[in-house]
Structure 1
Amino acid sequence: MTESPVGSRYARTRDIVAAAVVLLVLTAVLVIVLVQVWPPAPTVAPDGRTEIPARTTTVELLGWSPTLSRETSLFVIVMAAGAIGSVVHVLRSFYWYVGNRALRRSWLVMYLLLPVVGALLALIVYLVLRGGLTSPAGGASDINPYGITAIAALVGLFSRETSEKLRSVFSTLLAYAPPGRDQVLEPRITAIEPASGPVGTTVAIHGTGLGSAAAVRFGAAESRISDAADTLIRTAVPPGATTGPPVVITPAGSVTGPEPFTVE
């Protein structure tokens, strides 16, 4: 039985609202965890000397009162900050695509998993820094929590750029791995068929990394994707289209076609 257009729109709206609620609740939980687990600041002794911070601290998390060492607190802070950075990226992308009615339901799982990726990537960067592979580091009492939190949040916010940077830094230490099918390719356009046509013409755009494309711009006019795959997307020339290279819009950025499309 085919789902009616009204039912399809209802299901789409329901999924978007559910994803938005989950993201907002996740944001609140991460902020609470970050604040509660934050290590106490060093105290100053009566003689003016700065005392060493306490080695352990007891936190309050929704009725749970665990006692964490400073090392453990730093791990939790790094992962929470990395997840928060990714949530900022997700929320910014989410409201943009919802507002432009270009959100695809298949992206919702990606949006929900991206904070996990940000948390784990922030943890990896923290371990790299603490391991002294890029710079020397002292013990837990010497670590500035504000500094590592800022780095972790930026790693989560720019997780893709961080991955690329780590790959370029450590590629000389590890063997080169050829691209696999599970690796995301940079969006690229190789051909456009046909090269001309009036409004309403179905246009096939060939390339790589096009599976997540949201829309195609023909000048200032934008059209939706009717069929999307990694190497091929199809769309129709929208009203108001003008002659020029089509621009494919993806979550990774916009990519411009190598040849202009002539609107007849």
Structure 2
Amino acid sequence: MPAPPDSDAVATAALPSASIALFGGWAEWRLHVGGALLLLSLLFGVVGSQIHVLSSFAYHIGRRTFDNSWRWWYVIRPLVGGLLGVGVYALARAGLVATTASLDGANVFGFAAIAVVVGLFSERATRRLAAVADALFDSAAEEARGAILSRVEPATLAVGTDTIRIVLHGERLATVEAVQVGDERIEDVEATPVSVSFTLPDTQRQTAGDYQITAILEDGSSTNVKTLRVG
């Protein structure tokens, strides 16, 4: 029985492609839609950046303010625009940047227009990419951090206070299953993403002292420690 075809190979073969004859037909370059759009983004990013370069050059020549020390900026800037065009295209394919261009390759002019704008306004495009990076890495850091307690309410009680509900405020507390107060574990808790509430046992209410409180999560990990003062 023949082996089933490789899914990646089938997907690649299904992509529309074009053949380009090189060296008078001695070689052939087959370019798929993805590669064509990548090359398109590079070229039109250069075009957009070149528009900015020529406009800047004409402006400074006309006003007699051209500074020769900036000559390398005029050389390198189109390359930066092209690379930014490629970067934005890659982010769009990954779904990290919203665009109006069709990702199936049908809207070729859409990607060309985006690349031109990215090259023309490279500084703004760079700031946009920085914002995407901030959102991406901040989100990853947020997920990496565990639950945390920020404060206890109330933080101080008088000895012998009647039965009272203690509320722990914090972040990512939805999976808290118990609270440790001193040496006593309390499992009758109500947890939300930003708070955990429980009833303070009689032992702690009747005995003066500083009690260390920590919340225990379903995976067995615990939060930072907060202090409740009775007395």
Give the shorter-chain TM-score range: 0.3 to 0.5
Q: TM-score, normalised by structure 1?
A: 0.41
Q: TM-score, normalised by structure 2?
A: 0.47
**Hey, which of these two has a bigger chunk of strand by percent?**
2
